[in-house]
Structure formats: C-alpha cells, structure tokens
A and B are shown apart, each in its own frame.
Chain A
C-alpha cells in the first residue's frame, strides 16, 4: 500500500461523506465521530473536497413554510429566541454589506417577508427603479389555471382556477423561448403563491411575447431538465404598465 492509499479509517470517512456508508455502519461511525478529533478532521476535509459536487445541482426556491417549521421547532425546544423583527441591523463593514446584499436578494427573489428586515434595507439602500411587470395567464383546454407574474417584488405563480395534480406528481413551469430548449423556472407548490427561482440564463429569456408552459412531471420535477410529461397549460407573457 503506497502512502497515497487511503487508510481504512479515511476510507470510512470518505464514504461517510459521500453517502455510501449506510445503515448501522453509518450510525456506528457517527457515534465514533463524537469522540475522535482526528476522524472529525478527516470528515471535514472530505466535506470540503466533495462540496463542489453540490454545484451540479439546481437550487430550488424554498417556501416560507420551511422557515416557519424551523422556528416552531426551535421555539418548542425552548431555545432563547432572538426576535427577528426587533433586532437592529449591524453597523457597516462586511456584515453591513451582507445586510444590503441579502436584503436586495430577498427583494428580488420575492422571498422577502414583511417586517423590519426588508424595511431596514429600503432605508439603507433605495432599490433601483422597478423593471416592467410581465404577466401571463396559463390556460388548459377548459379554463385558466395559473397566473405567472414577474415583478420588481420577485417572480411568482398563483393558481387562479382549481388545477388538480395527482398526489405523486408535480407541475413544473417552463420558459419556452424561440430557438432554445425549454428552461425550468420551478415547481408549482400546492395552493397559494409559489415564488419562482430565476437564474441568469432563465432571467434573460423572460421577455414579452415569450411562451410559458406547465408540464406534468414526476414528483420533484423533470429528471432530465426538459419536459417529460404532457403540457397541461400554456400562456404568453405580456407587459403590464
């Protein structure tokens, strides 16, 4: 065995991080990890090595209910809660810039919640003039089903009819621009307003006259990044002044 070979312990650490150490072996490893600093170093090194693979995965916009669930669990655990709404922003410097950029990010993605967080950002840095609002009403054979809105407050989709989805399927929304493949801009959640995730490539396709389409996909969305199921609803984007 050359010095470049992994020791048995390091193999375990690597496979733990990769995810192929499973079942009882994984639980045993986690138990040992607590009392073994060298093993923790090895795990941290592998976490660092492999973290770049997560960049191959498309990020997804979380619904606000996920955060609410976290807060509920922290409250239930009796953690002393710092109230998000009453804490003042930090001074300038790195965190101040974060504050600006984070708020700006929240503003542009429509993830902003009402309250001092967003307000503080408005005070700290006035938002740029809003881009034009674009909307599309997506209809199937019978009736309108969804309204999609791209506005300064962030893109989102709202059900307007009573679209039905089989339990184990998801509805996925696509931008279909002429001359390029459909680009997914997110899954449509059940009920209520779903914020959408637009990366640079998708954002550049969003223009008046472009077709939006909703397809029926396996739970979690199309595995191929292209529509695989039937197109249920379509609509064209128009500019609203």
Chain B
C-alpha cells in the first residue's frame, strides 16, 4: 500500500501557500480549473471541519458548497499580505457553517426547544482533542492555557459551540465561560506574537 502511504506528504505539496495563492488569483481570472484544484486540496479538511461544527453530512456538504461559491466570487479580494490562503479558505468555510448554526438556533427558538437532543443527550463528548503534546503555533500556545479557557476555545472553534452551549457542556456559568474565552484569546495572542 505504498502509494496510499505517501498521500499526506503529497497533499501537503498541494497545500503550499504560494501555490494556493496562485490558484486564487487564477480563480479571480475566472479559471474554473484553478477552483477545482483548490477544492481538491482543501475540501477534505473543510468537510471535516464542517462536519464537526454541523454534525450532519448534508449540512456540512452544503456549507462546503457555499464556501467554494464564495471563494469563486471573492477570490479577487484575497490579500496575501494579510494571511495565508489556507486560513482565508478555512475562515470562509467556518463563517458559512456558522450561518447555518445561527439559522438552526433561530429555528430552535421558534420551536421553543433550547438545545438539540445531541447536545443534551451525551452523544457529544465534552472532551476536546488533547493539545498538550502539541508543539506548533496556536496549538502549543493553547496547551499553555488553563483547562477551562482551553476547552472553551476548542469547543467554539472546532465544535462551533456558542457561549451558551459551551457553558452547558462544561457545566459552568455563562459569565465564567465568556471571560475564559476573552482571557484565553488574549493569552493566545501574546503567546503567538512573542
């Protein structure tokens, strides 16, 4: 299975910032094949992220579609001096997934149901991925945070949880969670910029 074994290394070649920036600029020039190449490089991780946030394959697939339609429309606005293509694409994906979570939250309020069954019923673990062993960038810095802020930030970013949902999942007061997140973000920034 050698051919399969080398896959991650090959995929990371495709992820190169310069290459992806070049593809985005070709998208701005309406080259749809460039969009397809970006899609091939980024859709597995984007679908993975959307699945974690939305917990539904069909909603996640729609969010990925929303994201790539928007990438096509806004490719000309990508500015490589502000950040990497990967971060820009992940941002767009997550905002479109959050649109869907916001829409779902509106429905739930209309239905008079506070939280969906999955969030209440223990289907979703309150445990975030273990980051303590991590040595790179934000994950290293996150590992330096206290448990509460660390878990809150991961639940927000990875699981798409709102303040209220995080408070519920961790069994902590809303105000505590809000201040954990603010303090946590502040510490992250300090750590990343030092």
Interface positions of A (Cβ within 8 A of B): 4-6, 11, 14-15, 17-20, 22-23, 26, 30, 40-41, 43-45, 47-63, 65-67, 69-71, 73-74, 77, 79-84, 87, 94-95, 97-98, 101-102, 104-106, 108-109, 111, 117, 127-128, 130-131, 134, 150, 152, 155, 170, 187, 189, 197-200, 203-204, 206-207, 218-221, 223-224
Q: A18-B157, A102-B37 are in contact. Are A66 and B32 (CB under 8 A)?
A: no
Tell me which of A4, A60, A101, A150 contacts B190 (CB under 8 A).
Answer: A4
Q: Whose C-beta in chain B lies nearest to the C-beta of A224?
A: B125
- Return chain B residues, CB-CB under 8 Å to A44: 79, 82-83, 87-88
The binding surface of chain B is classed by DSSP as helix
Is the pair A106, B40 in contact by a Cβ cutoff of 8 Å? yes
Assess whether A56 is in contact with B33, with CB atoms less than 8 Å apart: no
A62/B47 in contact, CB under 8 A = yes
**B42-85 toward A: CB 8 Å interface, digit per residue (1/0)?**
01110111011111110011001100110010000001001110
- Contact pattern, B 145-159, Cβ under 8 Å of A = 1, otherwise 0: 000000001101110
Q: Which residues of the other chain, B, contact A71 by a CB distance below 8 angstroms?
A: 32
Find out whether the CB atom of B33 lies under 8 angstroms from the CB atom of A82: yes
Contact B138 A52 (CB under 8 A): yes
Q: Which residues of B contact A102 (CB under 8 A)?
A: 14, 37, 40-41
The CA-CA distance from A104 to B11 in the complex, in Å, is: 9
Question: Which chain B residues have a beta carbon within 8 Å of chain A's beta carbons?
Answer: 1-8, 10-11, 13-14, 16, 18-19, 22, 30-33, 35-37, 39-41, 43-45, 47-49, 51-57, 60-61, 64-65, 68-69, 72, 79, 82-84, 86-88, 90-91, 94-95, 98, 101-102, 105-106, 118, 123-125, 129, 131, 136-139, 142, 153-154, 156-158, 160-163, 166, 181-182, 185-186, 188-190, 192
For A69, what are the chain B residues with a Cβ–Cβ distance below 8 Å?
61, 65
The reply to whether A60 and B47 contact each other, CB–CB distance below 8 Å, is yes
Separation of A206 and B138 alpha carbons in the complex (Å) = 33
With contact pairs A22-B98, A79-B72, A131-B2 given, residues A98 and B37 touching in the complex (Cβ less than 8 Å): yes
Contact A57 B49, beta carbon cutoff 8 Å: yes
Residues of B within 8 Å of A59, CB to CB, are 44-45, 47-48
B90 neighbours in A (Cβ, 8 Å)? 47, 51, 54
Q: Please give, as numbers and ranges, the residues of chain A lying within 8 Å of B55 by CB-CB distance.
A: 218-220
Complex CA distance for A134 and B106, rounded to whole angstroms? 48
Bound: A223/B160 CA distance, A: 14
Check A62–B1 contact: CB distance below 8 A. Answer: no
Residues in B whose Cβ lies below 8 Å from that of A54: 45, 48-49, 90, 157-158
**A20 near B44 (CB under 8 angstroms)?**
no
**Can you show 18 pairs from A to B with CB atoms below 8 A apart?**
A11-B182, A22-B102, A47-B88, A50-B188, A51-B84, A52-B137, A53-B154, A56-B139, A57-B48, A59-B45, A65-B61, A73-B65, A79-B72, A82-B32, A95-B19, A102-B14, A111-B40, A198-B7
The contact of A14 among B47, B68, B185, by CB within 8 Å, is B185
